[in-house]
Amino acid sequence: MNSTSFITDYTIYEKVIRERIPETKVFLWLATSDLKDLYIHEGKRMVPFLKCLSDLITAGVAVRLLHAKEPGPAFRKDFDRYPALIHGLERILCPRVHFKCIVIDGQFAYSGSANLTGAGMGAKSPDRRNFESGFITTDTALLETIMEQFDRIWMGQHCEKCGRKKYCSDFIDLTGK
């Protein structure tokens, strides 16, 4: 049955990061403007979200990440701790990416305001979180629309006319020039 629910704040972390992402079987697409060192619960301890991504990649899940700017030094330090990410995480930096979405196996999606940061989607206390909102859905039509937007950017359909090529370290040249 298709469903869509509006969610806010810590519920984004609970419903998307804790419940759904670890259950990914085939593919995980992540789009975010800002990307920072995000920590999540693993049992009774806190671990980098990158560990979760590394575990998924090791299990054979294809993980794609679209983001608008380079992450900070703490993120890069954690990234280096998980060798599976180096060759297993497909990543494109595009300075025009401002939408935030997560697509899991083409069957579930989150779309909303939260960046992939501790304050946006993380396990931070209510006093340290951003005020975020969005929706989760299994609705086929909504999933298709979210996936089409992600895929257009991933395939570089906007690159030729973007006007920001000089800021984009991952420019996709579809013209062969």
Distances (CA, A) of 70 to 16, 66, 92, 99, 177: 23, 11, 10, 16, 26
pLDDT of residue 172: 45
**Residue 78, domain member (yes or no):** yes
What whole-number percentage of the chain has pLDDT above 70?
Answer: 91
Quick: pLDDT tens for 65-84.
999 988 988 898 999 999 99
Cβ neighbours for 40, distance < 8 A, ≥ 6 positions apart: 13, 17, 18, 46, 47, 48, 49, 52, 122, 123
Strands 133-137 and 108-112 come out as antiparallel
Q: Are 99 and 111 in contact (CB under 8 A)?
A: yes
pLDDT (average), residues 29-51: 93
pTM equals 0.91
| Residue-number span of the structural domain to which 38 is assigned | 4-167
Quick: pLDDT tens for 140-153.
999 999 999 999 99
Give the Cα separation of 138 and 144 in Å (integer). 10
Residues constituting the chain: 177
**Residue 175, domain member (yes or no):** no
Q: Are 94 and 33 in contact (CB under 8 A)?
A: no
Domain count, the chain: 1
Quick: pLDDT tens for 91-123.
999 989 999 999 999 999 999 999 999 899 987
* CATH code of the domain in which 151 resides: 3.30.870.10
**Residue 110, domain member (yes or no):** yes
Cβ neighbours for 94, distance < 8 A, ≥ 6 positions apart: 66, 67, 68, 153, 168, 170
User: How confident is residue 171, by pLDDT bands cut at 50, 70 and 90?
Assistant: very low
**Residue 109, domain member (yes or no):** yes
pLDDT of residue 159: 77
**Residue 174, domain member (yes or no):** no
Q: Does residue 36 register a pLDDT over 80?
A: yes
**Residue 172, domain member (yes or no):** no
Amino acid at 75: F
**Residue 173, domain member (yes or no):** no
Give the Cα separation of 40 and 52 in Å (integer). 9
